[in-house]
Copies of this chain bind each other. A is one copy, B any other.
């Protein structure tokens, strides 16, 4: 589904390292005549926003592809068509692997901007992202507010906590020291869902209690984690996990001088999210308000934890729809 843009001259990273050529896999939806809405995906997403974010993006959805021209690209460092550690390093003829340079949030943003330049889009009606997606949009809006009319930041953060970094570190340690992407994914998955969600879905149910106790998989929640890991391993490059998770750890945009952004912000958090919960959105709100920005923030009740941003949560969807569409009508 995704198209690929090839930039032979590539991109110079914030670190000074150069990646060339640069390939960017992207999808577009809706008419180019409509206001442009850019979607940034999270850690394990891809360019096909209308697939992985089908609850939010599509005909009649809050990000309505009948009304907006929607663009989404696989992230720099990704493994879904955009240049990343799994790509061939032209200097060696081999895959980059751990020779891929470290990335910053700004590098991810510059890749999106390079794509938009090629597409001839100078200004976005809006940009929308959850988790790592929201972090990119925040960086983008702080650096180039004139390019983004409205920013929708869902369950995101401007500053990972020590606990966030700790989980991230253990996942990377599992991959780097033990080639254990399955362990990394299982652990991360637990942090994406709430205690309550796991309780509702599985509680303490066992698949075959008549078989007696075992050290291996028995409880339904264990089968679920096994399945999650298996599916994920088949589709994801562990190196991308290393690089993109690290971008998040180092992200701290308000540690730099930031002037008043003209972008208007909608911040949404979920009350059961224990990864980037409401306190993270409150921090972003405070930082933006101190700098004179226009910010609306909502905490939405949802039992699904961090993953709520991908789920059908009507209150959240209505907030996004209202912010994008009413404003669009006003702007058009």
Which residues of A does B touch, CB under 8 Å? 15, 98, 102, 104, 159-163, 165-167, 169-170, 172-174, 176-180, 182-183, 186-187, 190, 195, 198-199, 201-204, 212-217, 219, 221-222, 225, 242-243, 246, 249-250, 252
Contact = CB atoms under 8 A, between A and B. Distances in A.
Contacts of A165: 204, 219, 221-222
A183 B242 CA distance: 15
> How many identical subunits does the complex contain?
2
B216 A163 contact: no
A246 B162 contact: no
A104 B212 CA distance: 12
Contacts of A195: 161-163
Q: Which interface residue of A160, A170, A176, A249 has the most chain B CB atoms within 10 A?
A: A170
17 contacts: A104-B213, A161-B198, A162-B195, A162-B219, A165-B221, A166-B186, A166-B190, A166-B198, A169-B222, A170-B183, A170-B187, A170-B225, A177-B182, A178-B180, A183-B183, A187-B187, A215-B242
Main secondary structure of the interface of A (DSSP, over half): helix
A108 to B, nearest CB: 14
Contacts of A212: 15, 102
Contact of A102 (B161, B182, B215, B246): B215
A174 B176 contact: no
A158 to B, nearest CB: 12
A166 B204 contact: no
